Amino acid sequence: MTDLPLVILAEPIDESARRWLADRVELHELSRTHPEFESRLAGAEGIVVRTATRVDQAMLDAAPKLRVVARAGVGLDGVDLDACRHRGIRVLNTPDANTQAVVEFVVAAMTDVLRPRDRVTSSVDSREWAAMRASDRAAVQMDELTFGVLGFGRIGSRVAGIASAIGFDVLYHDLRDIPAAERGSARPVDLETLLGASDVLTIHVDGRPENRTLLGSEQFERLRKDVLLINTSRGFVIDERALSDRLRGTPSMTAILDVHEIEPIPGDSPMLDVGNAILHPHIAARTRTGLEAMSWVVRDLVDHLSVRE
């Protein structure tokens, strides 16, 4: 027995943060599918989750002593916030921990499409060399394009700043009235204008229920036929069936999706086998620095459990 509060680590975190936490609580590393999870949960005062573990009403009902839910990440879509609030359970996250990582991912993904680069891996003759450098294969120049940002929060505003520095004409749409001092050179427009004007459209909205299928058939029809659509926010903001239909009927359009309505992507997903859809396994935030920063939500967890060093 120990006087330390019992905390469940439901998913792996950075090793240094894990060791730090283990020195300060009675730590049990158990996924929700582990046979001992329910019995340990009954005595748990805290739980640390990432993306795969849902903190729902059933879990809360099995955790009468739970005081703190710590999400090693940003989005709280997997946590029943109303139920936690009703129980007086504190919910923690790390809002800015992965901003830089996601911004870098968006820029890298965009560049891969707009500025494809051939690699020379063997000797080529002059004819092949000329073909690789032919003018009809020249890339589009970004300072001639319009960059649209849907959601001008921490990540959206940072991406907008980089796009402005590259030379894009930057437009954004957000529910909030963003002060001029925080916009940089980006210009606010309504959603219809954003959809119709963007050569690149990147999505950075939050997980509120109203954002479910925010973009469906009607919105996709407004997009340019050669638009590059990037989603690193939430999978459910896009109607995947509608996007799949639009992509299949518009080969000049490209979509890069790092988040998906169901993860892992099931075999019957409408996005599979769509040639102009680039699917990633939810990795935008996964830099070493980002993962470590998200893991240190355990500091706040320990603080809220009133564990003293």
234 is catalytic: yes
Q: Which residues pair with 55 in a beta bridge?
A: 79
Rounded to whole angstroms, the Cα distance separating 294 from 93 reads 8
At 230, which amino acid appears? I
CB atoms within 10 A of CB 147: 26
Rounded to whole angstroms, the Cα distance separating 149 from 155 reads 10
At 255, which amino acid appears? A
Distance of CA 129 to the CA centre of its chain: 40
212 is catalytic: no
> Which pair of structure tokens corresponds to residue 78?
């997997």
Of 204, 234, 246, 260, the active-site residue reads 234
Distances (CA, A) of 98 to 103, 105, 131: 9, 11, 41
Nearest to 201, CA basis, from 145, 275, 261:
145
- Which residue has tokens 């437009």? 171
Of 18, 40, 282, 299, the active-site residue reads 282
282 is catalytic: yes
Q: Are 156 and 172 in contact (CB under 8 A)?
A: yes
Rounded to whole angstroms, the Cα distance separating 218 from 124 reads 48
Rounded to whole angstroms, the Cα distance separating 258 from 25 reads 35
Distances (CA, A) of 290 to 25, 203, 215: 24, 20, 28
Distances (CA, A) of 213 to 152, 267, 297: 18, 21, 30
CB atoms within 10 A of CB 225: 10
- The residues annotated as belonging to the active site are 234, 263, 282
